[in-house]
Structure formats: C-alpha cells, structure tokens
A and B are shown apart, each in its own frame.
Chain A
Amino acid sequence: MRIELERRPKVSALFSILSPFIAFALTIVFGGIMFALLGKNPVAALYSFFVEPLSEVWSLHELAIKAAPLILIGVGLSVCFRSNNWNIGAEGQFIMGAIAGSILPVVFYDWQSPLMLPLMLVLGMIGGALFAAIPAFLKAHMNTNEILTSLMLVYVAQLFLDWLVRGPWRNPEGMNFPETRTFGADAILPEMLASGRTHWGFAFAIIAALAVWFMMRYTLRGFEITVLGQSERAGRFAGFSSRKMIWFSMLFSGALAGLAGISEVSGAIQQLRPVISPGYGFTAIIVAFLGRLNPLGIIAAGLVLALTYLGGEAAQLSIGVSDKVTRVFQGLLLFFVLSCDTLIHYRIRLVRERFAALKTDEAH
C-alpha cells in the first residue's frame, strides 16, 4: 500500500481564498500545543505572542519597520516565482545591497550632500541586482540550478560582510568593536511619521507592491511573466524569451532585496554590523507564498510575519521562552500554507491494488 496524490478535477475557488487563513489558524493551534508542551499556559502565551505587540503605538512602528524589508523582498520574489525562477538567495542580495549602499557613508564619510541618500539607495539596488546576476548568469548560460547557486551565495555574502566589518571597514574610533562608523545625518533614511521610528522603507515597500500589482495585472510585461511561468514553450510561441526573463526576474528581485538591505541599514541600524538581518531574505519566501504571490496579499503577509518576529521578542521577555519560537512559528506557517495549497489541488489516495503501476503507465 502506498499514498498517492491525485489531481482534483476542479479546484475550489472558496478554499483557494481561505487557504492562507486556514494555514494561519492551524499555525495558532499547533503553536498553542507547543506552548502547552513547554509547560506554558497556551492562551496567555499566544496572547503575548500575537496580540500584545499590537497594543501599543511604538510596537506598531516596530511592526512596520520589520514588515518593510519582508514586503519589499517578497514582492520581488513573487515576480521571480511567478516566472518559474527560484531565487532563494534574497538574504544574500539584501546583505550585498546593504554593503554597496554603505560605501558612501563608510568610505566617504566626510562627504556631505543631499545627494548622499538617493545615491545610497541606487547603489543598494545595484549591489543587490549584481549579486543576483551571478545565479542569473549561471542559469541562463550554464543551465545551473538557481535554487542551489542563489542559496549558497547567501553564505558568501554573510562572510563577506563579516570580514568587512572586522577588517577594512571597522570603525577606527570604535574601540575595536566589529562595526563600521555610524552614518552621518545625510545618510540616514528619515522617519515617516512624527509618532515613531517607522522610516521611509515602509513607504518604498508599499509603493513597490502597488507598482508590481499594476504591472502583473495590466501590462504586457506582467503577462509575459505569467505565461513564461506557466509554460516556457507557450512563451516561446508568444515571442518571449525565457532567458531574458531569467535575467529580468533575478535582477528585479535582487534590486528590491538590495533596496530593502540599504533601507534597513540606513533607516533602522545606521551602521554595518556582522549581522544585519534576522533572516528577512528567507522569511520573505514565506511572505511571498502566504500572500499567494499577489503583491497586495504580500503586504498583509509581510505584516503577519513581522508580527512573528515581534512576538518572539515579546514572548522571550514576558514568558521566558527562547526567541527560536519565532522560527518555529514561521516554519509552521510555511508548512501549513504549502500543505493547504497542495490539498486544494490534489486529494490523498491510498493505493492497494497490485496493478497500480500499470495503471499509471497506461493513463496517458
């Protein structure tokens, strides 16, 4: 006996919409079980994880700060994933964007100009895009698997950053801490609102999401992305080049990840450190799928996943569990999103017959 997935003749429209919500509910249930197993009161723990962070103005600002990179990267990844290009290395592109954008405030720290910030943002996008160009080139011209190359390059980026802040870019006046100089006033992404710390990175995220939504829905470019993602052969018939699409989607998502990186560094951290991201580039993959690869859905999903970061910090303080709980919740969420989607498209069937293999051979 074995288990088979059998394609459903018709996909339920209702459950397609409900799927992210069901996944979120299941995550809560299993999270509660996990807290109970840890010996905590599940209701109180879940409350401090998911509700408390939303109850104060400052923490709402923190939510927006954490959501900004998730949404920016997630929107870029949605273009990649829709076109059937699997960029898993946004974390590395985020770091390289942050490094490229930091060249001006770290190396040319005494230069003062209102051009400083716009140039940093542009450099950040270029840095992210160039780093994504490596897996793009390897896939387009060497037929390499981009999942592996983009993922492995993350470690290259992380170690490169580590070396920079401990070596050439270390702050000479920083008492040997592995940090760069703190950015000058011209190099800091300002706050959006008077009420708190949220910087303009959040606005970039929303603008990017709306722009990509418009592109996917109304323009020929969006159509090209959809067609090539569904069938390369049909795309070729339409005159679209899958090779060019590899370049476009990888560079585009790399640029947005780079913008997220420099925005985070310039707006929230204001210097480079050995670690500048709590895994935004990886979490954004969950954001993209939870948002159903739809830019508007990604805004909502980005806020939800940002909440898991805040909740993890809050739970660490108030109920004394490890902040690894955040990772567990993110993992549960991705698992349930993907399983819900699978079960919407397929049903599970137990196969007992001896001639099951023959059947599949003869089905086509």
Chain B
Amino acid sequence: MPVKGPIASGPLLAVSNLTKLFGSFAACNAINLHIEPGEIHALLGENGAGKSTLVKMLFGVLAPTAGEILWMGDNVRIGSPGDARKLGIGMVFQHFSLFEALTVAENIALSMDRSISLARVAEEASRLSHVYGLPLDPNAHVADLSVGERQRIEIVRALLQNPQLIILDEPTSVLTPQEADRLFETLLKLKAEGRSVLYISHRLEEVQRICDRATVLRHGKVTGACDPRAETPASLARMMVGNDVAVVTSEGTNTKGDVQLEARHLSVAARTPFAVSLKDVCLKVKAGEVLAIAGVAGNGQSELFDALSGEYPVADDNAVQIRQKPVGTRNINARRLMGAGFVPEERHGHAAVSSLSLSDNLVLARNQSDKRAFLGGGFLKIIRQGAVKAATKRISEAMDVRKSGEDPPAGSLSGGNLQKFIVGRELDRQPAVLIVNQPTWGVDAGAASRIRQALVDLAKAGSAVLVISQDLDEIFEVATEIAVICEGRLSDPYPARELSREKIGLLMGGMHGKTEGAGAAHAH
C-alpha cells in the first residue's frame, strides 16, 4: 500500500519543548525530538523516564502543558486519539484493548467507520496481514489466540488506518524471540514503504538491531540522540541510567552441594478461571546453584511460586521438599522457619503494603522467622520497634536503598529501591533457599544489576536460588541451570552455558525438547 499525501521534505514529526506537568512533577521536561520519514526511531529510557507520557501526548491521550507538535511542518493540536488517527498516527499499546469474546474481524471493525461491512473489514484485514507477514485468521476468537497473535491484531488495526507514523510501546516485552523476529521483519517492511516507526523499548540489543536513530530519555529530559549502531550497549545504558551499570560477575565455579529445594511431580489445579494449572512439575535446586525458569508471562509462573512458597499449600506433602523434608502441606511461615526466603513478583500489595513503613514491611516477611528478635512481651507479641528499625537500617545500607527519611512508607520508594529492600529483607536472613519471581521486573538498570549480583553471590555462598523470570538477559546473567515453563509444564533443566536463545525460544513456545526437528519447522 503506498503512503498517502505529499512527502514533505522536512521531518515527519517534530516536537519542540514539549512539557507535561503532573502537579509540580515534570513527567516530560522540554522534550525535543524529530522523526524523519521512513526511519525506525527508538525511544529509550528506564521505567519512569517519561516515554509513555511523551507517547500519550503524541497520540492525543494526554494534553501537553507546554510546547508544540509539528506534523509535516504544521503546528497541530492533537486533542484525542481520533485526531491522531486522522493525521496519520497509529499506535500499538503495551496492554491490548481487545474483547476476548469477539472475533479478530469484529475487534478490528469496532475501531472503524460503522458504514464498512464486517466482511470487507475481514477481507481487508486478512489481505494486510498477508502483505506484512502477520498471519491472522479474521474469524478466530481473540480468547483462543496467543499474546503474539493478539499483538498482530493491534498492528493490523493500526495499519488499516494507513498511518505514516506507527508508535509501538514495548512491543517485544510479551513475545518469544521467534515472535519478535517476525515483528522486526514487519517493521522493516513498513520502513521500506516510507512509513516511520517510533519504537519504545528498554532492550538495547533490539534497538541496535533495527533502529536507525535513538532518542534517550532520563527523568523526563532528553539525555542523548544517537545512532544506536554506532554505540555499544554499555554506552546506551549509560545514557539511560546516567552512570555505568555494573556488570554482573559470576567468576569462579560454584561448589554444588545437596539438593535444597525440590518439586516432585507437583500438580496443582487452577484456582480461578484465569489461572494456569501446574502439570507434573519436577525440579531440583542444589546448594550453590541458580536455577532460572524462563517463560512467557502467564504460563504458570505465579502458580508455581504460590505452591513453592506455601502461600497456597498443596495436598501432597511430598510434592515440595525444602532441605530434603516434605513441606507441601505446610504454610509459608513454616517454610521460612526451615530456611527458605521468598520474593514475589508484585511489589505493591503482595511483597509489601504501600501505606506501611519499611520497618512494618520488614515485620511483614519476618514476623515468625525472626520472632525472637522482633517480638517481645510473651503472648502479647509486642513488636520491638527498636530492633525492627535497626534491621531496616542495616538492610537499607547493605542494599543501597535510597529513600526519603529514616522509615518512609513503602509506596514512596521508587520501584527499584523498594525491590532492593524486598530482596535485601530476605538476603539479610541468609536463607538456605531463595525463591524469587521476576526479581527485576520494572526496575531501573542500576538496581537490577545490584539485585542480580546479590542473587549470584548468595548462590556462591552456598544457598540454592530459584529465579523465575521473563527476561532472558537476566536469566543468562544469573543462572547456572535453566528450565522453561510453558502452559504449566516445566522442561528439563539445561546447564546455562549449553543453552542458546533459540533453543529457549522453542521451549517457550511449547517444544519440550522431544520433537525438536518438527517443532523448529513448525515455529518458523
């Protein structure tokens, strides 16, 4: 499909001094940016750098406080997503807005002019999806589709408007490596047609692979504009983070000891209609090992964590073993008393209560395991504030937790600092077994490297560490063994050094190493 309208000689989109204030907080502070026709432009930055705010202003979801947006040289005011679409801007959001009960064509039709018949929409959608290598069955129900396929619907929906600029917000965060490869091919095709892409990501490898230029944001300001191919990942990270990110080192060999954590044929029925059931999961983590479990989100990771932590004990006592003792039916505090520590995925409302102080949140995780130190007064169980505050201080110093004041509410900390505290809260006990779900999800690069180093060091000191993560970079940084979870089934573990990303990708797509040849052919 040719691009409509005259091709202006200047930039397609230029933004000057664009500012968005929330109260007195500047989410975007005098941003300057220009996108040329036919380029893939990366918008890089950590969580909270202002990427989403900027994009929402470009798509008419948020109104700028100051500054101007020039579209093909004209000063425009984008008051709504409808305005943006009329100009020729399409957007694919990180979180999809699809109705699961409707078909692909029906979902697409919802965003179109009502006068167009459903049959035409379906025809057009399947033609577009064919042209751009985004195979889609217009009559399939969304509920039956994978995350990658759902993303294709969003992309096709955006393409139907014939946009000249397509904005993609963290598109690969939910994709397997193979699905991501296919997405990149589509993007290059769009570029070849003269369309522009604004590609938001914090994954440096991807940006270097497909983007022509990059604009880096930090704390709401532009900190750099560059050709990502001329940079190294370290130099890009420096622009994003502001200082050199420490590289996680795992030198020297880990001395492996006895099995400390084991799941034996662990099966758990789904608790809710949206949960995944665990099917015959077997795993072993020895002292000195870091077993990482990779997988696309929503394949049973949370359910596995719940069963291993004892937040939801299982019926078979032998199915979970901590330090070679059956604990399947025991609760989380009984497992903590046996030397295990746990870090759940969700910080707010699970690992911590946002409105409570850090010291209260320390009591949250350690009210039984440290009751001698933290509780007094016999049956009254009076919390010893002095001891708890001292331990809070110790943990904050050990993990370099930056906070306002001595003992602020957990909700006032940034994601990275709160996560450092939550991990530090467990490390402080020197647990023999540590189970972590998504250790650095939504955490800035500096904090992430600190947390990963701490996990590696804990294993070196002789603990068994289980890391559940969707981030392959993270997995390769910390793991000694890797297994993959897909639809509630866990693959066999592989030594981290012998496993390639491609192999992991196949396992993430459900090829459990048994039908490798056929599986590879099918996946491509």
Chain A residues packing against B (C-beta within 8 Å): 9-10, 218-221, 223, 226-227, 230-231, 233-234, 236-239, 353-355, 358-359, 361-362, 364
B95 touches A362 (CB 8 A): yes
Known contacts A220-B381, A237-B351, A361-B97; A355/B344 CB under 8 A = no
B80 touches A218 (CB 8 A): no
Contact of B80 among A230, A237, A239, A355 (CB under 8 A): A355
Give A364 to B169 CA distance when docked, in angstroms. Answer: 13
B61 touches A223 (CB 8 A): no
Q: Kindly list chain A residues whose C-beta atoms are within 8 Å of the C-beta of B375.
A: 220
Expressed in whole angstroms, the minimum distance between the Cβ of B80 and any Cβ of chain A is 4
Asked if B518 is at the interface (CB within 8 A of a chain A CB), the reply is no
Q: How large is the interface on B (under 10, 10 to 19, 20 to 34, 35 or more residues)?
A: 35 or more
Give A26 to B187 CA distance when docked, in angstroms. Answer: 61
Q: Kindly list chain A residues whose C-beta atoms are within 8 Å of the C-beta of B342.
A: 237
Selected interface stretch from B28-36, B116-124, B359-367: B359-367
Asked if B521 is at the interface (CB within 8 A of a chain A CB), the reply is no
Give A239 to B346 CA distance when docked, in angstroms. Answer: 17
Nearest CB in chain A to that of B80: its residue: A355
Known contacts A355-B81, A359-B61; A233/B364 CB under 8 A = no
Contact of A219 among B82, B332, B382 (CB under 8 A): B382
A239 touches B367 (CB 8 A): yes
B350 touches A231 (CB 8 A): yes
B81 touches A223 (CB 8 A): no
Q: Kindly list chain B residues whose C-beta atoms are within 8 Å of the C-beta of A219.
A: 377, 380-383
B353 touches A234 (CB 8 A): yes
Q: Kindly list chain A residues whose C-beta atoms are within 8 Å of the C-beta of B147.
A: none
Known contacts A9-B23, A231-B349, A355-B80; A237/B364 CB under 8 A = yes
Expressed in whole angstroms, the minimum distance between the Cβ of A116 and any Cβ of chain B is 30
In the complex, the 4 A-B pairs of residues with the closest C-beta atoms, listed nearest first? A239-B333, A220-B381, A231-B349, A355-B80
Known contacts A9-B23, A227-B353, A358-B81; A237/B344 CB under 8 A = yes
Asked if B193 is at the interface (CB within 8 A of a chain A CB), the reply is no
Contact of B350 among A10, A233, A239, A353 (CB under 8 A): A233
Number of cross-chain contacts by CB at 8 Å:
85
B381 touches A239 (CB 8 A): no
Q: Kindly list chain A residues whose C-beta atoms are within 8 Å of the C-beta of B95.
A: 362, 364
Q: Which of B309, B331, B352, B367 has the most CB of A within 10 A?
A: B367
Give A362 to B59 CA distance when docked, in angstroms. Answer: 11
A218 touches B383 (CB 8 A): yes
Expressed in whole angstroms, the minimum distance between the Cβ of B55 and any Cβ of chain A is 10
B332 touches A239 (CB 8 A): yes
Give A237 to B332 CA distance when docked, in angstroms. Answer: 7
Known contacts A223-B367, A237-B311; A362/B97 CB under 8 A = yes
B22 touches A230 (CB 8 A): no
Give A358 to B84 CA distance when docked, in angstroms. Answer: 13
Give A10 to B81 CA distance when docked, in angstroms. Answer: 29
Contact of A238 among B346, B364, B380 (CB under 8 A): B364
Nearest CB in chain B to that of A353: its residue: B80
B80 touches A354 (CB 8 A): yes
Nearest CB in chain A to that of B384: its residue: A218
Q: Kindly list chain B residues whose C-beta atoms are within 8 Å of the C-beta of A353.
A: 79-80
Asked if B356 is at the interface (CB within 8 A of a chain A CB), the reply is yes
B311 touches A220 (CB 8 A): no
Q: Kindly list chain A residues whose C-beta atoms are within 8 Å of the C-beta of B332.
A: 236-237, 239
Q: Kindly list chain A residues whose C-beta atoms are within 8 Å of the C-beta of B353.
A: 226-227, 230-231, 234
Nearest CB in chain A to that of B332: its residue: A239
Q: Which of B61, B80, B352, B364 has the most CB of A within 10 A?
A: B364
Q: Kindly list chain B residues whose C-beta atoms are within 8 Å of the C-beta of A238.
A: 363-365, 367
Asked if B93 is at the interface (CB within 8 A of a chain A CB), the reply is yes
Give A233 to B347 CA distance when docked, in angstroms. Answer: 11
Give A351 to B474 CA distance when docked, in angstroms. Answer: 43
Asked if B223 is at the interface (CB within 8 A of a chain A CB), the reply is no
Q: Kindly list chain B residues whose C-beta atoms are within 8 Å of the C-beta of A364.
A: 95
Known contacts A9-B22, A218-B382; A230/B356 CB under 8 A = yes
Give A272 to B170 CA distance when docked, in angstroms. Answer: 70
Q: Kindly list chain A residues whose C-beta atoms are within 8 Å of the C-beta of B79.
A: 353
Asked if B75 is at the interface (CB within 8 A of a chain A CB), the reply is no
Asked if B17 is at the interface (CB within 8 A of a chain A CB), the reply is no
Q: Kindly list chain A residues whose C-beta atoms are within 8 Å of the C-beta of B383.
A: 218-220, 223
Q: Kindly list chain A residues whose C-beta atoms are within 8 Å of the C-beta of B331.
A: 239
B93 touches A227 (CB 8 A): no
Contact of B356 among A218, A220, A226 (CB under 8 A): A226
* Listed A/B pairs (29) with beta-carbon separation below 8 Å: A10-B23, A220-B367, A220-B381, A220-B383, A226-B356, A230-B355, A230-B356, A231-B349, A231-B353, A233-B346, A234-B350, A234-B351, A234-B352, A234-B353, A234-B364, A237-B309, A237-B332, A237-B342, A237-B364, A238-B367, A239-B331, A239-B336, A239-B367, A239-B368, A353-B80, A354-B82, A355-B80, A355-B82, A362-B61
Q: Kindly list chain A residues whose C-beta atoms are within 8 Å of the C-beta of B97.
A: 361-362
Q: Kindly list chain B residues whose C-beta atoms are within 8 Å of the C-beta of A9.
A: 22-23, 25
Give A263 to B158 CA distance when docked, in angstroms. Answer: 71
- Not counting A239-B368, A355-B81, a sample of 7 additional A-B residue pairs whose C-beta atoms are within 8 angstroms of each other reads A226-B353, A237-B350, A354-B82, A355-B60, A355-B80, A358-B81, A362-B95
Give A226 to B342 CA distance when docked, in angstroms. Answer: 22
Q: Kindly list chain B residues whose C-beta atoms are within 8 Å of the C-beta of A359.
A: 61
Q: Kindly list chain A residues whose C-beta atoms are within 8 Å of the C-beta of B333.
A: 239
Q: Kindly list chain B residues whose C-beta atoms are within 8 Å of the C-beta of A221.
A: 381
Nearest CB in chain A to that of B59: its residue: A362
Contact of B349 among A223, A234, A354, A358 (CB under 8 A): A234
Nearest CB in chain B to that of A218: its residue: B382
Give A221 to B360 CA distance when docked, in angstroms. Answer: 13
Give A233 to B305 CA distance when docked, in angstroms. Answer: 13
Contact with A along B326-346 (1 / 0, CB 8 A): 000001110010000010101
Give A155 to B372 CA distance when docked, in angstroms. Answer: 48
Q: Kindly list chain A residues whose C-beta atoms are within 8 Å of the C-beta of B351.
A: 234, 237
Give A218 to B374 CA distance when docked, in angstroms. Answer: 12
Q: Kindly list chain A residues whose C-beta atoms are within 8 Å of the C-beta of B349.
A: 230-231, 233-234
Give A9 to B411 CA distance when docked, in angstroms. Answer: 12
B365 touches A237 (CB 8 A): yes
Q: Kindly list chain A residues whose C-beta atoms are within 8 Å of the C-beta of B311.
A: 236-237
Q: Kindly list chain A residues whose C-beta atoms are within 8 Å of the C-beta of B22.
A: 9
